[in-house]
Structure 1
């Protein structure tokens, strides 16, 4: 942001009056011109007045919102310029320029040229002192304003002063790099410091362009190629994380050092192999390999360094190199015995197996002294691995542990949901209930009580609801929609006490508009949660039946349990009463009853249902006979503004349920499981799927409700993607209370292959976040193992089968230690569960020729599944 340049100021009589007037006009150019012409005495006069005037300027802006604060800070640049040109000491000027009072919240106008103008007349030593002091005040963080950095660097450049050895100055200088580093001021002085200053790697870790440009500058001779190479290697030797060294790795590779340049630094590259981060060690290994022909002693040291690593790729490279050295060495192999012993101590079974085969192949080429190193390692091998080596070299191998018999506790019983309270029996009891969109139980009981009392004691009910009826205003009939159950209840009370009021009002006109119909007062599906819209539709249906004089004696859908479940025997009994009395079910009420209908029923209840003759009775009989078509549930992962999100898609085609057609549009308010499950008590996976979008719709992501799994346990219906994702998310979060709840879910049939598939989706999504990952695969596997050992081994096997099918790397894919640990747990659990039936991805891995830890575990699992 540039400051407008004014014309030559008309100076008032006094120096301070003139400067104050320019400041008041927020005219930086005029202030600079005035200050540049002041005498020494006038400068001292202005300098004395500045602190007091700053306090007067600052006070009116106190307490302002940061959104509007800059509107009151237009004077700051003029005040900075005035102080820089009149305050005597360099230290005082530096303190003045860095005052927080002058900080803008948003854009900072560029006053650097004016400050350079007003200090240009100061002595050279004074300017150099100011340059150093300003540089030392930099902190190398976002708190440094860009103009502070530009001013310090430009003063250093103009005065020719040696920049102070101050890491924050280096960071600030880097942050202000132009697109072409060759245009950066002080390049020759500051560039060597890039390789030594703390924090540079973190600042530049995402920079992918400047390495190539620096290499191009080196190729043109503008900067020293040796400086860049030595700087990179010295930075590698100092250590750091892989991320913080990423920029220097890119720069090194952009320089592409020649064989001669690598040879000059051979010892340094070799020193990087044992402990440098993997990306640096791989770089060093590549350069040393390309060099070829190292001295035997150097080669042995390099190999031993690689074999100390934890990364399988580097250990594998070290073993391949060791194999070549052993093959080409003419004499005994005692010099390589320490390297082989190190390889036998590797963490990965693949490396140990390869080292053991190499040692056995060349056992005859070791003298007793060399064999002793191998013999000492035998006793340290895992159980069962050192038998063959002991036969060749001696030693005491650890015997394989006897296979222990698996024993687990039984799964906990599935808790039975608590029963509903007794139906409302009197008008006085009904008055104590308040239907509310925040309390599904009170809303449900009020509607049931109203219908029953209207059929049994209508006059008493009418009298009891007189006060409630008076709360409905005439204008309410024109409102649309009616969002809350209370308003519908008030309208029912009004219609009960004044029959026909709805129809009479429908013939009225208010402000040229007719009243809304009952149907128009129901909120649209796209604007209302299903957990609220279904109760509102039932209230509207009962209200319309009251208007039409067709109110039934009782409702069908009122649940028998607090979970929302409706016992089959109770629904059959209600339908028998309807058929006996000639009653007609209300359509929405009937389908709500079917959505809640228990999935289990005694044979006697099913037989009674089969004898029902009404259409509603036949629908219930079909469900109880086992002819229940399930809705299709799909979870679609889509890219949203805050990353991937999950969108549920549910189809009720072929289920006989029509009341939910159009009730689940793609854009709708987000649901929570607590109030939704009572609506879908027999379809818990549908309920779960309609709530999972809340897990991945914002940053940071929300988490499953604390009691969500417990609620799912007491609901009914097969498990599917929705429950799978909720269970998988619970596993990933790793909470202590998760395992007991997952055990209950397993007992209810809620854990299965779909949980594994959704777990794979979560872990893969999390892997894309790199250092911002939220989940621990190791923690997930520990939780699954605990579940298996506590009785859910069959269910955990199904989870592992679903997980492996999706998560394992295919041909050409990169395997990690996480895959190996998963396969190891799957092999254990499959044995515990007595699982049978080959899995294609496991069979493919088991058939690979190259033996790795993953392949070894895949073969073990495949043997269990095909036994």
Structure 2
């Protein structure tokens, strides 16, 4: 046994099977206890022993396999994450150790391994051999099925004979369509002509009778109906095409095709639409069923599907030869397209109704005429010619904007240690200002009030943190010296895992003068946490001065005065970083600030005097911030790409009083900032809590975060525009930097970033802080530079408009369009912008829209609409002119 343990500790996996063979049952049982102890020891090794750790883990896995006697315990051992290396376990060695066990035991182990979702696919070779040795039923779990699909994949070397001869093929092929997600190997080859891919292999199995064709067709159709990722749907559609469904098979799933056309992915809906067309041609689709599915398809956003459905309806109506019943059922559905935003689809629907209008009675005709009131102004004369006078639009236009967001007061710090620790454990790096500040203030308060109980609760709750083990104390302190890792530094300090000397060294360092402003912002936040941790273990503070009053990060002046009064009564000296952050957060305007300044001057402490001066100072810090973005075309060089949009220059005046009074962590506020995306390593990131550093100076915050939001448009970064709604709710000026930031977000690559920008735009409009003309000009400049693509902007503008803010959206587009229409050649995607603009003017009415439209816009639209061309650009320009009353 000692020889076995020595071999395991030295990582000699090859020697383990031979040593196990010399041990009896009792010796193996005793060895197992030692192996478990060694496993616990290895878990705590530092990362610099990773190579040794991997060898010992591999040996532990093999030794434990030979020593375990219970199937459940062995399955847990084999599936344990801490015993598995990146390479798969040595399955042949493991099987050799297990082959002499009872067949029932081997079958039990096979099904237990197959039931482990995290490892079943990787362990398929072992499970498969256990099933063969035991003769047990084949497992049907998702992991095992995925492992079988990977092993049998024709593209990975498994020939057609391997599938055909597999004893479980009839059982497992239907299960391929029932797993929560389809096996990735099913779509390894997308080329339909490639013989080595799953659709071809499965179709061949059905043709040869190895797998029942009806089962394969049914499972494939039902899985398409269920939906999934685009790649999964592509595989299923290719399989259907390889199977070449007969007319009878297509008819058997008529209801499923209708549901797919209504709700499936566009590729699935297009295929289903084609099948429905064939059913209709064969007379197997009733007018009522076609009406039901058409009502859903005509509301889909994909224009191709809508046009295809109108063509199908036209084909059916034409084949009916003017049958009254078909027209009475189908024409009202066609009329649903009268309200479609695309003028081409409106035109198709009008013409289709016009061809068959004579086949319906007066009641249906009146219903169609009422629906025709939805057509846009450009088609209104055609609708009047068809139906006569149309019903007038009901009521006057009313702009709908979201309610003005009210500031939310921060809830008090957690009232109990248990609640505090629970919230600390649940706190995520992306937590908002309110959640982070509550937990931080709670840690400070309980460190002062009941440190013993707090440390006991932290020790129980955080035992799994990387810094908890004392074995790597020096490495832990080095890491905390470079970054506090959120609030972990406070917990680690309270538990004695990081020394006060290290914390004092960290909190005393200034920001690097040659660093970027984003590094300085991060350093400011880190210093505050280092300082709080330092005081928690040296002289605990009763509470923090800088905890904000509102969720935006703003601190009310009377609240800060009350906290300073308590500090004076208790004889507590504020932490420099905490007090400096409190001053940057405090509201400096309004009657409350003026009254508080007078009261603070009489408090009699150095901090209160400075607070009073701060409230009455003529200008904030940083001051005179100027933002300039150089224009010009973008360079295509690897380092100078989009140079015109990349150069962001931020300057602040020197404020020597700040250098005298503020702590070193905030001296960077007095430096002249020169930041470009080529030199700043933070340009592609945005921290949602940066806004709480200077919540009273929104324009400065916008300038500092411009690079990160710009990256969502230029470099297609994801998530950086999430700061925009918070900035829209913040305080301070809404000037050029904020509007440029918003413009970049509206042109972001990813939809969630554009929606963040739309939310911010609507909030600014509701607060009366949106400068529509300025935003339009910023968008035009970015679009002409190529920074913002117009198709993305059109999507964002439409999303803003359909909330009910048509007039607001139009005001922005009215300022955007003149520069774009004057450019030669016109930028790509201009037709989409004109389409959204026309939709806005049609909704809010020409009287409202003309207020934002200048004569220059009208003239350029007229010149474009007068061209002899049938392009979408010319049609949309004509549509907008008509909507504007021209």
Please give the range of the TM-score, normalised by the shorter of the 2 chains.
0.5 to 0.7
Cα distance in 2 for residues equivalent to 1:217 and 1:757: 54
- Say if 1:235 and 1:57 are closer, same or farther in 2 by CA, change over 3 A: same
Counterpart in 2 of 1:31? 16
Secondary structure of 2:137 counterpart: coil
Q: Quick one: distance in 1 between partners of 2:238 and 2:830?
A: 23
Q: What is the DSSP-based 3-state SS (H/G/I as helix, E as strand, rest coil) of the residue aligned with 2:237?
A: helix
Equivalent residue, structure 1, for 2:334: 343
Tell me whether 1:358 sits opposite 2:352 in the alignment: yes
Q: Report the Cα offset of residue 797 of structure 1.
A: 1.2
Match of residue 636 from structure 1: 634
What is aligned with 1:332? 323
1:799 aligns with 2:797: no
Q: Look up the match of 1:668.
A: 679
Deviation at 1:779, TM superposition (A): 4.3
Greater Cα shift, 799-808 or 334-343 = 799-808
TM-score normalised to the size of structure 2? 0.53
Distance in 1 (CA, whole Å) between partners of 2:800 and 2:108 is: 59
CA contact (8 A) 1:32 1:82 kept: yes
Residue 62 (structure 2) aligns with? 81
1:246 Cα offset (Å): 3.7
Q: Aligned to 1:233, which of 196, 212, 221?
A: 221
Query: 1:399 — aligned with what?
Result: 392
| Unmatched runs of 5 consecutive residues or more in structure 2 | 402-512, 520-587, 589-623, 650-673, 691-701, 749-753
Q: What's the counterpart of residue 37 of structure 2?
A: 56
Any idea what SS the aligned residue of 1:633 has? Answer: coil
Alignment of 1:431-830 (within 5 A): 633-634=631-632, 636=634, 648=645, 667-669=678-680, 700-701=719-720, 706=727, 725=744, 732=757, 734-735=759-760, 739=764, 746=771, 750-756=774-780, 758=782, 764=789, 776-781=796-801, 785=805, 796-801=813-818, 820-825=835-840, 830=849
The question of 1:150 aligning with 2:138 is answered: no
Q: Which residue, 266, 271, 290 being the options, matches 1:283?
A: 271
Distance 2:12 2:173 in 1: 38
Q: Is the CA contact 1:753–1:798 (under 8 Å) kept in the aligned structure 2?
A: yes
**3-state DSSP class of the match of 2:176?**
helix
Q: 1 CA distance for matches of 2:185 and 2:29?
A: 42
Counterpart CA distance in 1 for 2:222 and 2:291 is 22
Distance (Å, rounded) in 2 between the aligned partners of 1:637 and 1:373: 61
Structure 1 SS opposite 2:634: strand
C-alpha distance in structure 2 between counterparts of 1:777 and 1:269, whole Å: 34
What corresponds to 1:124 in structure 2? 103
SS at match of 1:308: helix
CA distance in 1, matches of 2:128, 2:296: 46
Give the secondary-structure state (helix, strand or coil) at the position aligned to 1:362: helix
Q: CA deviation at 1:19?
A: 3.6
Shift, 1:111, TM fit: 1.6
Q: Is the 8 A contact 2:291 2:333 kept in 1?
A: no
State the 1:388 CA deviation.
Answer: 9.1
How far is the alpha carbon of 1:193 from its aligned partner? 0.9
Question: Can you list the C-alpha shifts for 1:220-249, whole angstroms capped at 9, x where unaligned?
Answer: 558659365443222123445756534323
Report the Cα offset of residue 737 of structure 1. Answer: 8.4
Q: Residues of 2 paired with 1:91 and 1:271: CA distance?
A: 44
Q: Any idea what the Cα deviations from partners look like across 1:27-59, whole Å, max 9, x if unmatched?
A: 333322344x46xxx542244224421232123
Per-residue displacement from partner, 1:838-861 (whole Å, max 9, x unpaired)?
A: 587897679799899x98764331
1:338 CA displacement: 1.7
1:254-281 deviation per Cα after TM superposition (whole angstroms, max 9, x unaligned): 5565778657766754564344333212
The 1:61–1:295 alpha-carbon spacing in structure 2 relative to 1, beyond 3 Å, is same
User: C-alpha separation between the residues in 2 aligned to 1:135 and 1:688?
Assistant: 49
Map Cα deviations across residues 572-594 of structure 1 (whole Å, 9 max, x no partner): xxxxxxxxxxxxxxxxxxxxxxx
Instruction: Give deviations 1:614-665, integer Å, cap 9, x for gaps.
Output: xxxxxxxxxxxxxxxx996226386989x9976547799xxxxxxxxxx999
Counterpart residue number, 2:507: none
TM-score by length of 1: 0.54
Q: Is structure 2 residue 239 aligned with structure 1 residue 215?
A: no
Q: Which digits, 9 at most, give the CA deviation of each residue in 1:409-463, with x for residues without a partner?
A: xxxxxxxxxxxxxxxxxxxxxxxxxxxxxxxxxxxxxxxxxxxxxxxxxxxxxxx
Q: Which secondary structure state, in structure 2, belongs to the residue aligned with residue 162 of structure 1?
A: coil
Q: For the residues of structure 2 that align with 1:284 and 1:727, how far apart are their CA atoms?
A: 35
Distance 2:353 2:104 in 1: 72
Distance 2:766 2:313 in 1: 52
In the alignment, the residues of structure 1 paired with residue 763 and residue 192 of structure 2 have an alpha-carbon distance, to the nearest angstrom, of 48
Q: Which residue of 2 aligns with 1:322?
A: 313
Bigger proportion of residues as helix: 2
Distance change (3 Å), C-alpha of 1:64 and 1:758: farther
Displacement of 1:112 in angstroms is: 0.9
CA shift in 2, pair 1:175/1:342, >3 Å: same
- Residue 192 of structure 1: aligned partner: 174
- The residue number in structure 1 matching 2:237 is 249
Residues in 2 aligned to 1:260 and 1:387: alpha-carbon distance in whole angstroms = 47
**TM-aligned CA distance change 1:777 to 1:66, over 3 Å:** farther
Deviation of 1:116 after TM superposition, in Å, equals 0.9
Give the Cα separation in 2 of the matches to 1:399 and 1:740.
30
Does structure 1 retain, via aligned residues, the 8 Å contact 2:39–2:60? no
Structure 1 unmatched runs, 5+: 1-15, 409-524, 533-561, 563-595, 599-629, 653-662, 675-684
Contact 2:32–2:67 at 8 Å: present in 1 too?
A: no
Instruction: Indicate how the Cα distance of structure 1 residues 637 and 746 shifts in structure 2: closer, same or farther if over 3 A, else same.
Output: farther
- Distance in 2, matches of 1:784 and 1:332, equals 41
